Structure 1
Amino acid sequence: MHHPVVNRRSFVLLGATAALAAGPGVPTASAAAPTAVPAGAPTPVRIVDDKATSATRALFAYLMRQQGDGILFGHQHALSYGFTFTTQDGEKSDTKAAVGDHPALFGWDTLILDGDERPGAEDATEAENIAALSRCIRQADACGGINTLSAHMPNFVTGENFYDTSGRVVGQILPGGARHARFNAFLDRVAKAVQGARRPDGTLIPVIFRPFHENNGGWFWWGAGHTTSAEYIEIFRYTVEYLRDTKGVRNLLYAYSPNSSFGGDPAGYLKTYPGDGYVDVLGYDAYDSSAGSDAWLESLVKDLGMVVRLAEEKGKVPAYTEFGESGEEGRNPRWFTKLLGAIEADPLARRVTYMQTWANFGGGNRAYVPIPGHALHADFVRYAQDPYTVFAGDLRGVYAARTTAVRNAPFMHLVTPTDRQRLTSPETTVRVRVTHAAASRVTFSVDGRRARRLRLDADGFHSGDWPIDPAWLDNRSVTLSVEARVGGEILTDSALVLLGEIAPLPAGWIDDFEGYAGDDATLSEAYSHVNANTTTLSADHKASGSYGLAYAYDFGSAGYTGIGKTVDADWTAFSSLVLWLQGDGSANGATLQIVSRGAYFEYGIALSDTGGREIRAPFSEFRPAPWDTAHAGEVLDAAHLAEVATFNLYLGHGSGAPAKGVVYVDDIRAE
């Protein structure tokens, strides 16, 4: 194989923030222009940790230079899971067996620390599993590769795995939350494993850490519908600050990686963006179950181009952080080369620095790296032989750059309460974090009233009690503003806080759209969103009360869109799902989906009726989704109704129908 990858750029982009809305507390600035570096001078890099090791800074500089010079191939668990080896010796991998070389990136997961993935073990001690993850990082480094680390974290409330979305976990693990100490203990193990990953000369091995991935989907407890955007931003920031500032971890770059798709819209991608001071790599995850259809590739390239554009504006590394061919709808024997060709042909998408596929855990079609004999092996070999792909043997000078860190500017953010958090008791704690500087005075005020002083506490927050007048707990909203004096500069942040309890919905009810205080953003945060759609409250289109839901869709090249809400209820007392629906007169369709015990049951509805009517969908008429072959033939019986997890409402593109429109929904419930 021959992969000529020569890097001749003498500069990197210095980080700056795009002037785009990125959530509460995220600073904005204009894009930075490339800064030429005199010959022989160190390259300045702006990264999350301005005290990072020289090798970590050099890795960032390398990835910045790499844009447009070839895409690095990565593989999750390359040395610990595979079809071509049984002994984990740190030298064998399915990638090497398939194409003669290791991947350029080796992916690991914190599940090793829990003993849930090899080489961790359930019967091993905590120290042994920490050492196992450190050893993985060392082995990948010895193979000439770059290390990445994802985090499939357990549910810190229930003790179940990452797919258990109950318990509003993020709110519980933020500072002041009942499970905050458990989360700190988890981060302590991450810190020990990463700090234990050293080369024979004792130097730390850099790792790209990618926590809280695919958060715009609803399948993880840190995902949409299970936490708010503000809570997500704050837990991401807290994770960085704890590892960097409290534990002194100096060999991490930090990656942010939502899941597809956004229709190329940066506002959706940045909705939960923690801010430029907390992210080094702008990532994007997207798997294909369409056998490499033109529509999927078009959507992918548009989104990757959007990520690259944002990365250029912000001085970040763009990456395709998870990809794979699922084989769910038939195989395309040219899948890898068609994918690479589509990316390489786009002037923006081709600048992604790496693309990493998932582990060869086994199980039917899930060979993300096709081995000899697999239907896609020949094409994967062609992919590897393409001059634009980079494997371990092609890497040159990854840690060679002489760099200097650009000092991080002072930053202040409101940690608790978070934006649009609902408070129901007459007292709470205000917490503010000031980083990269000492603040001489930090205060908070409510709706512009008298400012109250916050004091630096033992955990490094400027904190203080906020006594709330019980008369205010009447479902009103107030603006909590915080201000910090740092040198001669005043830093500010604020949050909209909702006060008082709202009446719980009757048993079986999913939503009547009355409990959002008339606020569209609060409504949107209550649902997960798949592909392009917008949800707002409608006072004009409803079945009852003050509001219904206006559900605006834009299918684009995806062909469908969806919203979802957590249920976690027993519906055995009910026989039907009922809702009020006003269609838009199109030939598009809606699908009601009930998720229970891992099965996805569906019921179809036409959108042709524009009059608005109540629809009753008997549970006996729901059927498993066509793609859910693992549950084919199952019925939505009492056993499933006893454990209803999620309700989803999908809209799908009909033949010849418009790709955009608005439908209205109200009073969704089981009866």
Structure 2
Amino acid sequence: MKKNIPILLLALSLLFSCKKATQEEEQKKEEATTKIAPIDKNATKETVSLYQNLFKLREKGYMFGHQDDLAYGVNWKYEEGRSDVKDVTGDYPAIYGWDIGRIEDNAEKNLDGVPFNKMREFIKQVYDRGGVNTISWHVNNPFTDGDSWDNTPGTVAAILPGGEQHEKYKGWLNNASNFFLSLKGSDDKLVPILYRPYHEFTGDWFWWCKNTTSPEQFKQLWEFTITYFEEKGVHNLIYIYNTSSANVNSKADFMEYYPGDTWADMVSYDIYQGGESAEKTEKFITDTKKLTAIIDEVAQEHNKLSAIAETGFEQIPYEKWWTETLAQSIGNHKISFVLVWRNHGWNEWMNPPKMHYYAPYDGHPSVPDFKDFYNLDNTLFQSNVTKFNLYNTAKP
């Protein structure tokens, strides 16, 4: 027995050393995270906490999100507490998408018909239960008074400082500022928002897209917008640089319009599957893998978060799309979230009219696979993130 004592002591010593090394490594990670902060130096405490905690959370998986999830779904609208995702899984999404298009007009409803007063209440509910809100803005064309899709050349130049519509655009930014400052939780604190201005700019369909806007103009518009919001006292935004999948074939393409590390908190892209053929599915998988690898690399190099800010397959005609297409395309990349587009239901305004939805609803053929997706170790829904206390300094 005495002969074994030195061996036992050596083993205990090695065990203690390993444990100490692990603790030191965890402490270093913790210290590194607490040094991370949003680009807004005056960001609210809750906004800073959310940003820091999202870095920790991505080590556990990525949040699943859904646009307009609480507002309506397939065959229902404004039913208190309802969600198509919750109907299917018994759980809400972790992140909820909203759009403030038409706030520039002081309209009662946004471009998708959601009353802004209801949107405020939904955003409050999400915050109160510990979920995350993200906002885009399909802003009208301030040069022509057309909509976002009026991509008349010269619009960005017209709204930059010195441009003929600069003052008009500042008025629109005032409306957005007032809305952001009206978003408060039950604790009366401002709700932090993941905000993605001028999204999908690598496409050619919006007035701020690269076919009508130079990198220099885009960066100037980006910097002016953020500076203006901060001057108006808006300090609850986390800013997302958001390309589309169009015209992005390399990291250089992705970074061409990047305003710099002091002007962006997160990098992301939008991508949709555009058809049912095997070729379309393969293209979606290939493009998603490529772009997710790019944003993951950029995020690691620039110490930023990353996300797939919009995606989906309209009507989800492939029953195994969730696990065999989406999840496999993301793989083990450490992104913050993936968000699918809205469940409008029957849309008579489309040409031709059709069902328009991107998340499964009760009875949809993809429900069993979506439940498998829900049960994956690295997909996070509301019940997963609530316990992480994202808005305070508690460790996820």
Q: Same fold (TM over 0.5)?
A: yes
Counterpart in 2 of 1:334? 320
SS in 1 for 2:65: strand
Q: What's the CA shift for 1:335?
A: 0.5
SS in 1 for 2:256: helix
Query: Does the 8 A contact of 2:285 with 2:326 survive in 1?
Result: no
Counterpart in 2 of 1:156? 142
Q: How does 1:559-638 map to 2 (within 5 A)?
A: none
- What 5-or-longer segments of structure 1 have no aligned partner? 1-7, 13-33, 121-128, 404-671
- CA offsets per residue over residues 45-87 of structure 1, 9 Å max, x none? 2321111111101111111112241110011111112125333
Q: Which amino acid aligns with 1:255?
A: I
Q: What's the CA shift for 1:149?
A: 0.5
Q: What's the CA shift for 1:119?
A: 2.9
Counterparts of 1:389 and 1:42 in 2: how far apart (Å)?
22
Q: Which amino acid aligns with 1:54?
A: K
Query: Does the 8 A contact of 2:177 with 2:232 survive in 1?
Result: yes
Q: What's the CA shift for 1:144?
A: 3.2
1:192 matched to 2:178? The reply is yes
Counterpart in 2 of 1:78? 69
Counterpart in 2 of 1:473? none
**Residues 279 and 10 of structure 1: is their aligned pair in 2 closer, same or farther, counting only changes over 3 Å?**
farther
Q: Which amino acid aligns with 1:381?
A: K
Q: What's the CA shift for 1:399?
A: 1.6
Query: Does the 8 A contact of 2:96 with 2:134 survive in 1?
Result: yes
Relative to its length, the structure with more strand (as a share) is: 1
Counterparts of 1:139 and 1:96 in 2: how far apart (Å)?
15
CA root-mean-square deviation:
2.5
Counterpart in 2 of 1:369? 359
1:215 matched to 2:201? The reply is yes
Q: Which amino acid aligns with 1:288?
A: Q
Counterpart in 1 of 2:8? none
**Of 294, 299, 307, which residue of structure 2 is paired with 1:319?**
307
Counterpart in 2 of 1:355? 338
Q: What's the CA shift for 1:237?
A: 1.1
**Of 84, 94, 109, which residue of structure 2 is paired with 1:94?**
84
Counterpart in 2 of 1:253? 238
Query: Does the 8 A contact of 1:84 with 1:371 survive in 2?
Result: no
**Residues 73 and 398 of structure 1: is their aligned pair in 2 closer, same or farther, counting only changes over 3 Å?**
same
Counterparts of 1:353 and 1:344 in 2: how far apart (Å)?
11
Identity within the alignment, %: 28
Query: Does the 8 A contact of 1:207 with 1:251 survive in 2?
Result: yes
Q: How does 1:266-281 map to 2 (within 5 A)?
A: 266-281=251-266
Q: 51-60 vs 139-148, which deviates more?
A: 139-148
Counterparts of 1:264 and 1:162 in 2: how far apart (Å)?
25
Query: Does the 8 A contact of 1:336 with 1:380 survive in 2?
Result: yes
- TM-score where L is the length of structure 1: 0.50
Q: Which has the larger radius of gyration?
A: 1
Counterpart in 2 of 1:303? 291
Counterparts of 1:343 and 1:118 in 2: how far apart (Å)?
33
Counterparts of 2:33 and 2:130 in 1: how far apart (Å)?
24
**Residues 133 and 10 of structure 1: is their aligned pair in 2 closer, same or farther, counting only changes over 3 Å?**
farther
Counterparts of 1:319 and 1:213 in 2: how far apart (Å)?
13
Counterpart in 2 of 1:615? none
**Residues 11 and 268 of structure 1: is their aligned pair in 2 closer, same or farther, counting only changes over 3 Å?**
farther
**Residues 250 and 332 of structure 1: is their aligned pair in 2 closer, same or farther, counting only changes over 3 Å?**
same
Counterparts of 1:369 and 1:357 in 2: how far apart (Å)?
7
Q: What's the CA shift for 1:217?
A: 0.5
Q: Which amino acid aligns with 2:308?
A: Y
Counterpart in 1 of 2:100? 110
- CA offsets per residue over residues 477-526 of structure 1, 9 Å max, x none? xxxxxxxxxxxxxxxxxxxxxxxxxxxxxxxxxxxxxxxxxxxxxxxxxx
Q: How does 1:439-588 map to 2 (within 5 A)?
A: none
**Residues 196 and 374 of structure 1: is their aligned pair in 2 closer, same or farther, counting only changes over 3 Å?**
same
**Residues 402 and 178 of structure 1: is their aligned pair in 2 closer, same or farther, counting only changes over 3 Å?**
farther
Relative to its length, the structure with more helix (as a share) is: 2
Which structure has more relative contact order (CA 8 Å, sep 6+)? It is: 2
Counterparts of 2:189 and 2:130 in 1: how far apart (Å)?
15
Counterparts of 2:178 and 2:73 in 1: how far apart (Å)?
27
Query: Does the 8 A contact of 1:112 with 1:132 survive in 2?
Result: no
Counterpart in 2 of 1:52? 43
Counterpart in 2 of 1:401? 393
**Residues 82 and 318 of structure 1: is their aligned pair in 2 closer, same or farther, counting only changes over 3 Å?**
same
**Residues 47 and 334 of structure 1: is their aligned pair in 2 closer, same or farther, counting only changes over 3 Å?**
same
Counterparts of 2:251 and 2:330 in 1: how far apart (Å)?
21
Q: What's the CA shift for 1:201?
A: 2.3
SS in 1 for 2:272: strand
Q: What's the CA shift for 1:276?
A: 0.9
- CA offsets per residue over residues 110-144 of structure 1, 9 Å max, x none? 12624233432xxxxxxxx4x44433321222343
SS in 1 for 2:149: coil
Query: Does the 8 A contact of 2:67 with 2:96 survive in 1?
Result: yes
Counterparts of 1:239 and 1:88 in 2: how far apart (Å)?
36
Counterparts of 1:309 and 1:341 in 2: how far apart (Å)?
19
- CA offsets per residue over residues 295-346 of structure 1, 9 Å max, x none? 421221111111011011111101111110135xx9321111113442453x
- What 5-or-longer segments of structure 2 have no aligned partner? 1-21, 348-353
Q: What's the CA shift for 1:369?
A: 0.8
Query: Does the 8 A contact of 2:141 with 2:155 survive in 1?
Result: yes
1:227 matched to 2:213? The reply is yes
**Residues 147 and 263 of structure 1: is their aligned pair in 2 closer, same or farther, counting only changes over 3 Å?**
closer
Counterparts of 2:391 and 2:25 in 1: how far apart (Å)?
16
Counterpart in 2 of 1:526? none
**Of 252, 265, 272, which residue of structure 2 is paired with 1:287?**
272
**Residues 392 and 151 of structure 1: is their aligned pair in 2 closer, same or farther, counting only changes over 3 Å?**
same
Counterpart in 1 of 2:228? 242
Query: Does the 8 A contact of 1:164 with 1:220 survive in 2?
Result: yes
**Residues 208 and 341 of structure 1: is their aligned pair in 2 closer, same or farther, counting only changes over 3 Å?**
closer
Counterparts of 2:24 and 2:204 in 1: how far apart (Å)?
42
